[in-house]
Amino acid sequence: MSDAIAVVLAAGKGTRMKSELPKVLHPIAGRPMIHWAVDAVLDAGATRAVVVVGHARDAVEAALRARFGERVAFAVQDDPRGTGHAVRCAVEAPDAGLGDFDGPVLISMGDCPCVRPETLRALLAATGSRPFGMMSSRLDDPTGYGRLLRDADGTVVAIREQKDCSADEQAVKDVNPGIYVVRGDFLRRALSELRDDNAQGELYLTDLAATAAAAATGAEDRVVDVPGDLGELLGVNDRSQLATVRAVLQARINETLARGGVGIVDPAATYIDADCEVAPDARLSPGVHLRGRCRIGPGAHVDVGCVLEDVEVAAGAYLKPYTVANESTVGPDAKVGPFAHLRPGSELGPKVKVGNFCETKKTRIGEGSSVGHLAYVGDGEIGRGVNVGAGVIFCNYDGYRKHVTTLEDGAFIGSDSQLVAPVTVGAGAYVASGSTVTRDVPADALAVSRAKQVNKEGYASRLKARMKPKE
Ligand code: UD1
Ligand code: CA
């Protein structure tokens, strides 16, 4: 079998999505829908994918270039006149390479993201050098799909669109999922013969089935169909179907991870984007979202309700419930949360502790240091073995610029202190609770900056006596 070229149709607007975003760019597990469809055809062995674009073509092309580079080519269909017309645009596109290609052309739909590469490979193998092969499926409710009409031997002789079906044909539950393999020379000839004398006034790609069936002379060139699993052939026309498809693809990701040794307590309630990596023996509790490109190390535990995006969690780390983190790294055996917020550029070293209601941003925290309770550390450089007490604030912003706070190894910052950056607290130094530190603190020193305490004996009852008559 010669190498295949794929054509993926994605020119439609997706009106039923009722969305500003083009249908094929709606994200599913962190990737635009069209990435899934194009990934499948390339993984199936197609040398190139020619994507037919039209509606919002600049955005669709940019999204595809970003992931697939030169492995995708584009054909423009300005005026959508049907799926047959769309494939004609692909054949005529100068850099698609289909003008004189006589090998297999794998045609699929950009809104059919669940199909697996191995299924497409099976279709390519079954079709071989025949003019026309297709996937097929059976549906209890075939509404909206083209129906397969078969001869006495069960060979497909035509695909009838719903709107062109007679009452008898409407009842057929054997449907066209919209995935085909068509030999290049036959494709060009049959496309040129398409007519739009049908209920929708369109050029139907599906008419190729009847053309191939009529031209067949024997077993080796008759139409073949490969029955497919429903879960793979689901198309997305509206948001409800998008949700269904998302669940199918998420289940697939989670199953693969679980088989690889990841402890996923409740797969239906665990949301992991396709480009995340989770090591064996890591645990993910219900309600966890891993977005973008997270990497979770072996033995790490991401507990209930954590939402992480582009976060690296090293081996043995524990993210307690409801930690929210972006573009950050968590070192081995570190403990974070519950209810912590790691903003971009937070780099937590080994055995670091960041406790409840703490916010970190663009701060490196060295081994064994602790930021335990209700603190804000932004634009910081924190050494090893540092203790940042409850309610400490790094005052990093003067209204114009951000400044750095540096805490050297072993520094101890008492609770409720404010460190007004730029400022450095030297190694082993103490800052007394409730201090406002505006000047550098030398190593080994104690900084206190608060009014001396005065106790006025008996003041409280005198005050009460004075206030009483006024009530
Ligand atoms: C098509 C099939 C139908 C099949 C169904 C499976 C035809 C005539 N019918 O119907 O037999 O059961 O898919 O889902 O092929 N597109 C273009 N340009 C166009 C028209 C469509 O690029 O001019 C693209 C759309 O963006 C979409 C895909 O082709 O990605 C399918 O088009 P759609 O209008 O949804 O076809 P269906 O009516 O679903
Ligand atoms: Ca469709």
Report pLDDT digits (tens) over 219-274.
999 999 999 988 899 999 999 999 999 999 999 999 999 999 999 999 999 999 99
pLDDT at residue 1, rounded to an integer: 53
CA of 97 to the centre of ligand 1 (A): 23
pLDDT confidence of residue 230: 83
Check if 26 is active-site: no
CA-CA distance, 45 to 170, in Å (whole number)?
Answer: 36
Tokens standing for residue 314? 């090293």
Beta carbon of 297 within 6 Å of any ligand 1 atom: no
Q: Give the closest residue (by CA) to ligand 1 atom 17.
A: 11
- Type of residue at 252: R
Q: Report the b/e string of 322-341 with b at 16+ CB within 10 A.
A: bbbbbbbbbbbbbbbbbbbb
Tell the burial category of 277 from Cβ atoms under 10 Å away from its Cβ (0-12, 13-18, 19+).
middle
Active-site pick, 35, 289, 373, 403 = 373
Query: Counting ligands in written order, which one lies closest to the CA of residue 162?
Result: 1
User: What is the 8-class DSSP label of residue 145?
Assistant: S
Question: Taking residues 344-361, what's their average pLDDT?
Answer: 98
- Residue 83, ligand 1, Cβ within 6 A: yes
CATH code of the domain made up of 255-447: 2.160.10.10
Cα 75 to ligand 1 centre (Å): 16
Q: Other CB atoms closer than 10 Å to residue 17's CB: what's the count?
A: 19
Share of the chain above pLDDT 90, in %: 96
- Shortest-distance ligand to the CA of residue 11: 1
Is the separation of the CB atoms in 181 and 134 below 8 Å? yes
CA 161 distance to own-chain centroid: 34
pLDDT at 464: 94
pLDDT band at 428 (very low <50, low <70, confident <90, very high): very high
Does ligand 1 have an atom closer than 6 angstroms to the CB of 6? Answer: no
Determine whether the shortest distance from the Cβ of 56 to ligand 1 is under 6 A: no
Which is the closest atom of ligand 1 to the Cα of 13? 26
Please tell me the predicted confidence (pLDDT) of residue 69. Answer: 97
Reported pTM = 0.92
Atom 32 (ligand 1) nearest CA:
83
What are the tens digits of pLDDT across the range 281-300?
999 999 999 999 999 999 99
- Kindly tell me if the per-residue pLDDT of 142 is higher than 70: yes
- Give the start-to-end residue ranges of the domains of the chain: 4-233, 255-447
Rounded distance between C-alpha atoms, residue 304 and residue 289, angstroms? 9
Q: Measured from the CB, is residue 74 less than 6 Å from ligand 1? A: no
Ligand 1, atom nearest to 14 Cα: 26
As a CATH number, domain 4-233 is 3.90.550.10
Find out whether the beta carbon of 278 lies less than 6 Å from any atom of ligand 1.
Answer: no
Whole-number average pLDDT of the chain: 97
Say how far apart CA 250 and CA 303 lie, in whole Å. Answer: 19
In tens, the pLDDT along 64-101 reads 999 999 999 999 999 999 999 999 999 999 989 999 99
For the Cβ of 84 lying below 6 angstroms from any atom of ligand 1, the answer is no
d(CA 136, CA 87): 20
| 61, 88, 109, 179: residue to mutate for ligand 1 pocket, most atoms within 8 A of CB | 109
Ligand 1 atom showing the smallest separation from residue 80 Cα: 23
Average pLDDT of the residues in 332-353: 98
Out of 34, 79, 83, give the residue to mutate to test ligand 1, the one with the largest number of ligand atoms within 8 Å of its CB: 83
* Chain centre to alpha carbon of residue 58: 21
Tell me, using a 6 A CB cutoff, whether residue 52 lines ligand 1. Answer: yes
Residue (of 313, 317, 325) closest to 359 by Cα position: 325
- Cβ-based neighbour number of residue 470 at 10 Å: 5
Per residue in 180-210, pLDDT tens? Answer: 999 999 999 999 999 999 999 999 999 999 9
> Which ligand gives the minimal distance to the CA of 34?
1
Position 468 confidence tier, pLDDT thresholds 50, 70, 90? confident
Q: Which amino acid appears at position 454 of this protein?
A: V
- Residues 296-324 pLDDT 10s: 999 999 999 999 999 999 999 999 999 99
The atom number, within ligand 1, closest to the CA of 81 reads 23
Q: Would you say the C-alpha torsion 112, 115, 121, 127 has a positive or negative sign?
A: negative
Residue 34 CB less than 6 A away from ligand 1: no
- What's the pLDDT tens digit per position in 98-128? 999 999 999 999 999 999 999 999 999 999 9
Find residue 410's DSSP bridge partners: none
Tell whether ligand 1 has an atom less than 6 A from the beta carbon of residue 161. yes
Ligand having the closest approach to the CA of 111: 1
Using an 8 Å Cβ cutoff, are 310 and 290 in contact? no
Interval between CA 130 and ligand 1 midpoint (Å): 23
- Cα–Cα distance between 178 and 136 in angstroms, integer? 8
- pLDDT, residue 471, reads 57
